[in-house]
Chains A and B, each alone.
Chain A
Amino acid sequence: MASQLSFPGFAWKNLWRRRLRTLLTLWGIGMAIGAFVALVGFSRSFEHEWLRLYSSSGTDIAVVQKTFLNPSVDESIEGKLAAVPVVAQASPMLFNIIDLTPEVNALVFGWRSDSYEFGSLTFMSGGRFHDRKAEVMIGEALANTLNKKVGESLAIQGSMFTVVGIYRGGTALETGAVIMPLDQLQQLSSLQGKVSGFHVRLRPGPAGEAPDHYLKRAQKEIEAALPGLNAQSATERASNNQFVALAHAVAWGTSSIALLMGILGIANTMAMSVFERTREIGILRAIGWKSRRIVLLIELEATVLGFAGGILGLGFGWGSLRLLSALPQTASIVSASLSPYHLLEALAISVVSGLLAGAYPAWRGSHLSPVEAIRHD
């Protein structure tokens, strides 16, 4: 049976029968896209975990100062906040990041023992701490990292605390965190009477009022009752806090550089690949191929390379996130989940980069005179 040659088959054979060059190109594209996926995925995972932190505890609104880490909200405003008609429950909380060992640092939350936020935790062993006692609860992931069990001691900034509970939280942030009595963290941080903010659960909205409208009205009522403070919805709080903004900025900055380097790498590889084939392009022109058919052939090859390199990059990126989510240093702030949107975005970037990078050399090669192209070494 005679072997039939089709136009797509020609493109495929050009890639398959130059395996080394194809593999090196795929590797270059894969590394660039992998770095992009891992870095942006890290940032988005961090944001996602913050959002889950709020949603799993049932928090509707966070009352804070304008800056996220400014623990200058006075704990004594709790009475005024609780008196706002839409507020069902208000829990003060203090938040910090503390070195537990030279290698491990963790998020530390200060709650009151009657906080409604305990509802989102499941105790694996032990139970809730008591206010005004040197007791802590630690997340399951952190307990494994520190090899701590209930009843053992944990040194935090030179003070000894008894581990009274090990819990499983709804998010990687909680599972890698320490939760301790608010008064103990205030004392440890020399912030007596101050909190990072209040988490608020609202009363059910009146029938007939849209949830979004009710949430906005509640924010306004709280801000009116507490001038100078912000009442942010949980979603806004998750995406707008300074940790996430910083993570976003760093990830986008780094991944943009990675992407730019990747695109330049892809462009270089594609350009070299097309320049190498100038004589072949000349032969195709000599036997009657039109310029646009040659451009189409090269762009078809570039699309296949971009797509396959993108898939390889998704694998690299996902593997990197898995690794980060398993490392003690980062397990508390990242999970290995990737959104379909992010995957499609990375794949689209890979394909479009390949197409753009192949376009100029393809156009140049196909517009050379056939004689000039055939003479090319």
Chain B
Amino acid sequence: MTSPLLEVRKLCKSYDEGRIEALRGVDLAITAGEYVAISGPSGSGKSTLLQLLGGLDTATSGEVLFQNRALGSAVNLDTYRAQQVGFIFQAFYLLPTLTAIENVQVPMLALDILPRNRAQRAESLLREMGLEHRLNQFPNKLSAGERQRVAIARALANAPSILLADEPTGNLDSANSARIIEMLTGIQKQRGMTLIIITHEDDIACCAPRHIRIRDGKIES
């Protein structure tokens, strides 16, 4: 049996001194190269789960294992985020003072990659996203769809093994939504990456090979 790439054991997360329980004992295993969609109503805990899987936050109790090693203790969270995880957010979160190609190079500054190679890699990723004509544009000059494509290129900059997307189509029209999902699934297949998408859109969730529903901090199915 293949050992999971990511495993979650009895994961709990509470806020406001325990008054709000976002996750209540979640168990989950995800294998390398899997495409998983997580859906659920607002406040169900799906984004919290993604943040804990990505090492953006720490659990109140329980643990997240990456390749059987616990995040935050056996695996340094900064290193994990820099090398193994690529994030895509609903609000894009590009840096406004940098152009598209510069934004894609920012994650690479955390690793020892030669400046020339950084620029070449960023350009290549942006070409792959169909943005070769927008390399030197600032985020405020890009459309919402283009911004999300720059964000995807940035997420791929350090060749991570896991791509985590939190409502990646939440700020996009239906045409752009379809294009972004098509790109993400293409990238997942082509590179054999693990792709975890948080969404509240059933048509996106239902298309994923594995669909997890979450409600009131617990996995339903």
| B57 x A5 contact (CB < 8 A) | no
Write the chain A residue with the least CB distance to B83: A288
Say yes or no: is B51 at the interface (Cβ < 8 Å to chain A): yes
| A286 x B56 contact (CB < 8 A) | yes
Within 8 A of B (CB), among A266-298: 279-280, 283-291, 293
Say yes or no: is B187 at the interface (Cβ < 8 Å to chain A): no
B-chain residues with CB within 8 Å of residue A290 when the two chains form the complex: 78, 110
- Asked, given contacts A3-B99, A18-B97, A371-B56, whether A287 binds B106 with beta carbons under 8 Å apart, the answer is yes
Q: Which of B57, B109, B115, B136 has the most CB of A within 10 A?
A: B109
| A284 x B106 contact (CB < 8 A) | yes
The smallest beta-carbon distance between A11 and chain B, in angstroms, is 10
Say yes or no: is A7 at the interface (Cβ < 8 Å to chain B): yes
| A288 x B93 contact (CB < 8 A) | no
The smallest beta-carbon distance between B7 and chain A, in angstroms, is 21
Write the chain B residue with the least CB distance to A288: B82
The smallest beta-carbon distance between B147 and chain A, in angstroms, is 13
B-chain residues with CB within 8 Å of residue A370 when the two chains form the complex: 56-57, 81
Say yes or no: is A13 at the interface (Cβ < 8 Å to chain B): yes
| B110 x A289 contact (CB < 8 A) | yes
Say yes or no: is A10 at the interface (Cβ < 8 Å to chain B): yes
| B119 x A4 contact (CB < 8 A) | yes
The smallest beta-carbon distance between B26 and chain A, in angstroms, is 17
| B109 x A4 contact (CB < 8 A) | no
| A13 x B78 contact (CB < 8 A) | no
| A17 x B97 contact (CB < 8 A) | yes
Say yes or no: is B102 at the interface (Cβ < 8 Å to chain A): yes
| A2 x B135 contact (CB < 8 A) | yes
- What is the number of contacts between chain A and chain B, taking CB atoms within 8 Å? 88
| A5 x B97 contact (CB < 8 A) | no
- Asked, given contacts A2-B135, A279-B93, A288-B78, whether A10 binds B57 with beta carbons under 8 Å apart, the answer is no
The smallest beta-carbon distance between B56 and chain A, in angstroms, is 5
Say yes or no: is A187 at the interface (Cβ < 8 Å to chain B): no
**How long is the Cα–Cα vector from A241 to B123 in the complex, in angstroms?**
70
B-chain residues with CB within 8 Å of residue A291 when the two chains form the complex: 78
| A2 x B120 contact (CB < 8 A) | yes
The smallest beta-carbon distance between A377 and chain B, in angstroms, is 12
A-chain residues with CB within 8 Å of residue B79 when the two chains form the complex: 288
**How long is the Cα–Cα vector from A285 to B79 in the complex, in angstroms?**
11
Dominant SS among interface residues on chain B? helix
Say yes or no: is B181 at the interface (Cβ < 8 Å to chain A): no
| B107 x A3 contact (CB < 8 A) | no
Say yes or no: is A14 at the interface (Cβ < 8 Å to chain B): yes
Say yes or no: is A6 at the interface (Cβ < 8 Å to chain B): yes
The smallest beta-carbon distance between B132 and chain A, in angstroms, is 11
**How long is the Cα–Cα vector from A371 to B47 in the complex, in angstroms?**
11
The smallest beta-carbon distance between B174 and chain A, in angstroms, is 27
Say yes or no: is B154 at the interface (Cβ < 8 Å to chain A): yes
Write the chain A residue with the least CB distance to B111: A288
B-chain residues with CB within 8 Å of residue A371 when the two chains form the complex: 51, 56-57
**How long is the Cα–Cα vector from A14 to B102 in the complex, in angstroms?**
12
Say yes or no: is B19 at the interface (Cβ < 8 Å to chain A): no
The smallest beta-carbon distance between B103 and chain A, in angstroms, is 9
A-chain residues with CB within 8 Å of residue B154 when the two chains form the complex: 287
| A5 x B123 contact (CB < 8 A) | no
The smallest beta-carbon distance between A215 and chain B, in angstroms, is 62
Say yes or no: is B178 at the interface (Cβ < 8 Å to chain A): no
0/1 interface trace, chain B 98-136, chain A, CB 8 Å (1 if under) = 110110011101110001101110110000000000011
* B contact residues vs A (CB 8 Å cutoff): 51, 54, 56-58, 78-79, 81-83, 85, 87, 89, 93, 95, 97-99, 101-102, 105-107, 109-111, 115-116, 118-120, 122-123, 135-136, 154, 158
Nearest 6 interchain pairs by C-beta: A288-B82, A2-B119, A17-B97, A5-B105, A288-B81, A2-B123
